[in-house]
Amino acid sequence: MAKLEMTLRGDFFDVVRRVTEEIVDGSLSAELEDSSDFQTEYARCSVRVFERYSFAGGNRVSLTLTFFSINSDDRIFASAITSGGSQAVFLKLNTWGEETFLDKAEAALSHYKA
């Protein structure tokens, strides 16, 4: 598992849409598997779950992106966590696919870094 957290700036829903598009378009096999959006009078939260085939590892890896923001602020907290990719039974070996997928997420998120 690999994790990245950063603070972004911008219009919440525009950032979520653009980052989603960049991750899907940035990999031949990446797909948006599911999403969830929640908004109240005070805050917004969006979750995106992606999956792709890792040629380096010969398996599938997932990426979960969570975006959170207070409505009165243009700062967006983003958390990206990858999973899968290991071929071992009891310990993690061959995490290249996870790290590569996280690099794609970091590139997409960095356009909006605060």
Structure tokens at 72: 């009165």
pLDDT score at 52: 92
Distance between CA atoms of 2 and 87, rounded to whole angstroms?
16
pLDDT score at 72: 84
Q: What is the CATH number that goes with domain 2-110?
A: 3.40.1000.10
pLDDT score at 87: 62
pLDDT score at 1: 72
Domain ranges (residues) in the chain: 2-110
Residue listed under structure tokens 């525009």: 14
DSSP 44-94: EEEEEEEEEEETTTTEEEEEEEEEEEETT--EEEEEEEEEE----SSS---
Cα–Cα distance list, 77 to 2, 29, 47, 82, 89 (Å): 17, 27, 12, 17, 34
Distance between CA atoms of 28 and 90, rounded to whole angstroms?
30
Distance between CA atoms of 61 and 88, rounded to whole angstroms?
14
pLDDT score at 90: 56
Report mean pLDDT in 10-residue bins for the chain, 114 residues. Answer: 93 97 93 97 97 78 96 93 72 69 94 94
pLDDT score at 91: 57
pLDDT score at 98: 84
Give the H/E segment covering residue 36. Answer: strand 31-39
